[in-house]
Structure 1
């Protein structure tokens, strides 16, 4: 995998040199992997506790992989203080992982609680519904983050890894800065959204992997997603982007959900959705198919772009 960097802000040579004196081992002692998980979902409630493979939950599969990779010593599940999330607390206990609870609508505060509880200076947020996390890419990202004076680094973007396999790392000091900002409800719920929206204000590293599979998505947001991801987990021995890419090139239908509504498709999906093809063919005088007025906008969400 490539390791080219696209910095949003360039760190000074002095701070770069200082940071390079921090050993990876020292950084690992001050880093926590925070797995964000709640039972809430409008489409697939309790998805993180759904069975993925070998009668193991999505959380079990993900946490086991993270432990085996041994990238950092501190791992925690970050969930809400709602009673509805008690099953996640129990799953954390079963898996022998620390569980940190906080406001349901404020992921930033939950991250800070976790960092304070486990004495961390760096935090790696991982969605609990992303069992195909690329741990090799995360390893690269950790090295890259500590190569300069970065506040935030991420690899899940157009030139990065496949959606649902990516990761990010954020300095806890930056989280504290965010907590003092006047943020929208959405920005607090998502966590690092404000940083990505206003990257020019921070020292952000957009780390490239150049996998070139922008149309795929491995987020487990529905039962259909769970079935696809389960099949990949069963048949790909080492779950990194290169191996998953090879599998998807051979079996492309596992790359993204085939049950996406017709309104959410682009021209490349006409043969998958005959309803869309019929609508285009029936339009008069070559006019735009007005029955799908937001198709382009929705395709840009990268939910499943070929």
Structure 2
């Protein structure tokens, strides 16, 4: 059984163009994500999933410098097709869906979600953005069969732009497991979406990355509430 982490990425961004290749602690954002996913023992391969088109050339150039990184592409407005292409091209049995704007994606919680997915035999499992984990720890785990079924069944363009909306519409057909955390630290924002997010993440990575490149929630909380609060009000 082959488990492939598929990172959905695009170079173009309305609020922060080129954000996925911006520098954090001396490395591109995508490099941090790849390193963190490679630290998950259950993941066999990593695939960068990008839209078709010349605008994504910087991502192709980046991928050419990363040993063992697979690249798959598909229609810009059809995320489901892009993931189905990644499944077909990598031979994945299980897909770990990750985002290119989550540079602090957590290996420990990701590994726990993969294990829970297999133990519970569900159609998909998720750490959603309201799970109690920091925003930026989100991942989904789906079977290749689920992705193929969604690809065949989703006809609404709205559904094609995502994956989860189609699944949640049919809860009896697609069983789901959520990994939650209590007490919640959803107040900690680790997403890269705006220039302000980038400045906050730079400060976190500059402090924590030299001590532990795979720093997690314990290290982030160790910065102290005042440090984290100042990031949000800066």
TM over 0.5: same fold?
A: yes
Q: How does 1:132-281 map to 2 (within 5 A)?
A: 132-196=104-168, 198-236=170-208, 237=212, 238-247=214-223, 249-253=225-229, 256=232, 258=233
Q: TM-score, normalised by structure 1?
A: 0.69
2:64 corresponding residue in structure 1 = 93
Q: Please give the alpha-carbon distance, in whole angstroms, between the structure 2 residues aligned to 1:118 and 1:49.
A: 24
1:226 Cα offset (Å): 1.2
The secondary structure found in structure 1 opposite 2:95 is: strand
1:246 Cα offset (Å): 3.2
- How many equivalent residue pairs? 229
1:71 Cα offset (Å): 3.5
Task: Indicate how the Cα distance of structure 1 residues 186 and 138 shifts in structure 2: closer, same or farther if over 3 A, else same.
Answer: same
Gaps of 5+ in 1: 1-26, 260-306
The secondary structure found in structure 1 opposite 2:119 is: coil
Correspondence 1:77 to 2:77:
no
The secondary structure found in structure 2 opposite 1:180 is: helix
Contact 1:248–1:254, Cα closer than 8 Å, also in 2: no
Q: Please give the alpha-carbon distance, in whole angstroms, between the structure 2 residues aligned to 1:214 and 1:186.
A: 27
RMSD over aligned Cα, in angstroms? 2.0
1:88 Cα offset (Å): 0.4
Contact 2:94–2:144, Cα closer than 8 Å, also in 1: yes
Q: Please give the alpha-carbon distance, in whole angstroms, between the structure 1 residues aligned to 2:150 and 2:228.
A: 40
Correspondence 1:41 to 2:17:
no
Q: Please give the alpha-carbon distance, in whole angstroms, between the structure 2 residues aligned to 1:254 and 1:62.
A: 25
Gaps of 5+ in 2: none
1:232 Cα offset (Å): 1.5
Contact 2:168–2:174, Cα closer than 8 Å, also in 1: no
Task: Indicate how the Cα distance of structure 1 residues 119 and 211 shifts in structure 2: closer, same or farther if over 3 A, else same.
Answer: farther
Task: Indicate how the Cα distance of structure 1 residues 240 and 198 shifts in structure 2: closer, same or farther if over 3 A, else same.
Answer: farther
Contact 1:59–1:128, Cα closer than 8 Å, also in 2: yes
Larger Rg: 1
1:192 Cα offset (Å): 2.6
Q: Please give the alpha-carbon distance, in whole angstroms, between the structure 2 residues aligned to 1:248 and 1:107.
A: 38
Q: Alpha-carbon deviations, 1:277-297, whole Å to 9, x = none? A: xxxxxxxxxxxxxxxxxxxxx
Q: Please give the alpha-carbon distance, in whole angstroms, between the structure 2 residues aligned to 1:95 and 1:254.
A: 35
Q: Alpha-carbon deviations, 1:97-120, whole Å to 9, x = none? A: 111111111111111111111111
The secondary structure found in structure 2 opposite 1:247 is: coil
Contact 2:40–2:111, Cα closer than 8 Å, also in 1: no
1:31 Cα offset (Å): 0.8
The secondary structure found in structure 1 opposite 2:223 is: helix
Q: How does 1:121-140 map to 2 (within 5 A)?
A: 121-140=93-112
1:51 Cα offset (Å): 1.3
Q: Please give the alpha-carbon distance, in whole angstroms, between the structure 2 residues aligned to 1:79 and 1:53.
A: 24
2:74 corresponding residue in structure 1 = 102
